[in-house]
Amino acid sequence: MGVGVVRGARQLVLVRHGACAHTTLSLPAPVDGTPGTLTEHGWAQARACGRRLAEAGFEVAAVCASPTERTLRTAELLGLPGEITPCPDLAERDWGTWFAGAEGKEAAERHARARELMRADPWGWRPQGGESLREVRDRVGAWVTAALTGLSSGALVAVSHGEAILAARMVLEHSWRAHPLALPQGPGHALPHGGALVYRFAPGAAVPGHRRLIADPLAPADGRAGADWQRLSGNRG
């Protein structure tokens, strides 16, 4: 049994898909002319994350993934036992028509404008035909609650996207803003590509009591940040 794996406990493992062409351009979603497939680096990240999860010794109960090529491929490259179940509720935020027809500089300008609007109304702003962050939180949160209700023991691995995982954090961590991630470039809230957040639930607990971060699966053992279990203050799990 791996370090930190408690007999009878449950774990929820949130994995962000590996890097893609659009993410190297800092875009939240593929746009016209930008493929949404994993880059070579993204493949390496996914494989390395799988090795790190295997080293941890989790007893994998199920593997779920957002039904996009990049998340399904990441789930496959993790190399975990069992079938991969596509779960639409794990999909990335729907950006509607915000990036329709945009490429290159225009796509970057639209993204910059979206960031301005989100700063003014982080929860309520909705791109035309898309989702607000509040709606993403409600969607992902409902999935998390239902999935954990059906999990008696072992680890549930869910491969998803940046804002969807952020939405899950809002549900899982009572004071998530007080628990920034220990990232190589400094504390932050966005899980890096190929990274994983592991939540540990004590037997019978409805909320996680501890969190573990795999920030950079490609980092050597002596350069891994935030790899120890952290107690989540405010959570009674």
| Residue 126: inside a domain | no
Task: Summarize pLDDT for 176-234 with one digit per residue, the tens.
Answer: 777 778 777 777 788 999 999 999 998 888 889 999 999 889 987 655 555 677 888 66
Pairing of strands 60-65, 84-86: parallel
Predicted model pTM: 0.88
Which pLDDT band, with edges at 50, 70 and 90, does 22 fall under? low
| Residue 35: inside a domain | yes
* Predicted confidence (pLDDT) at residue 133 exceeds the cutoff of 60: yes
| Residue 84: inside a domain | yes
Cα radius of gyration rounded to whole Å, the chain: 17
Which pLDDT band, with edges at 50, 70 and 90, does 27 fall under? low
The per-residue pLDDT for 150 is 84
* Predicted confidence (pLDDT) at residue 155 exceeds the cutoff of 90: yes
| Residue 64: inside a domain | yes
Domain extent at residue 61: 10-94+135-231
| Residue 102: inside a domain | no
Task: Summarize pLDDT for 29-46 with one digit per residue, the tens.
Answer: 655 445 578 999 999 999
Alpha-carbon gap, residue 162 to 76, rounded angstroms: 19
| Residue 200: inside a domain | yes
Alpha-carbon gap, residue 65 to 15, rounded angstroms: 9
Task: Summarize pLDDT for 51-80 with one digit per residue, the tens.
Answer: 999 999 989 999 999 999 999 999 999 999
The answer to whether 188 touches 179, Cβ cutoff 8 Å, is no
| Residue 104: inside a domain | no
| Residue 236: inside a domain | no
Q: The domain spanning residue 211 has which CATH number?
A: 3.40.50.1240
Number of structural domains in the chain: 1
The per-residue pLDDT for 180 is 79
Alpha-carbon gap, residue 50 to 71, rounded angstroms: 13
